[in-house]
Amino acid sequence: MTQTSRLALHDIDAFLRRDFPQLYIHGDIFSVIEIGHGMCRMQMAYHESQLRPGGTISGPAMMALADVALYVALLGAIGEVPLAVTTNFSINFLKKPAPRPLIADCRYMKIGKTLAVGEANLFSEGGDGPVAHVTATYAIPAR
């Protein structure tokens, strides 16, 4: 997985704005920091739309970040595949995230012809240890 990304950062950005407009309805809170072949680091700014009582970030907001980051990491390996779909998504919540930006670090364990399996570790920016861990499977349409 040390190969170059098949998409440049600015192409990813244009792709996300076109195909995932709902990511931007609260402003530019998602940003791709780094992308490689089957890997990606993405940040979600802290925003009141994600709040839970106690100043923490809601589970669904964390899932949304992991889902898009894993999708972007897959694009880094196979190029723009708008019809790749999540088939399984499983998250373990490890500790309460701080009211700070959240980072997702993704890598793929398998990228096959029809299925890809990746994992994401979510961290609070500047924090110590992951706040959640995700594994997800994507079905890749025949090319």
The interface region with a second copy, picked from 29-37, 38-46, 72-80, 94-102 by CB under 8 A, is: 94-102
53 touching a second copy, by CB under 8 A: yes
Nearer to a second copy by C-beta: 13 or 89?
89
Nearest to 102, CA basis, from 136, 59, 71, 141: 59
Q: Amino acid identity of 24?
A: Y
Among 51, 81, 84, 98, binds a second copy (CB under 8 A): 51
Rule CB under 8 A: which of 100-129 touch a second copy?
109-110, 114-115, 117, 119, 129
Q: Residue 9 CB, nearest distance to a second copy (Å)?
A: 21
Region of 55 please: left (phi>0), alpha (psi -120 to 50) or beta: left
The span from the CA of 87 to the CA of 90, in Å, is 10
| CA–centroid distance for 79 within its chain | 16
List, in order, residues 6 or more apart from 48 with CB less than 8 Å away. none
47 touches 30 (CB < 8 A) = no
Nearer to a second copy by C-beta: 14 or 96?
96
Residues that bind a second copy (CB under 8 A): 19-22, 25, 48-53, 58-61, 63-64, 67, 82, 85-96, 109-110, 114-115, 117, 119, 129-130, 133, 135, 137, 139
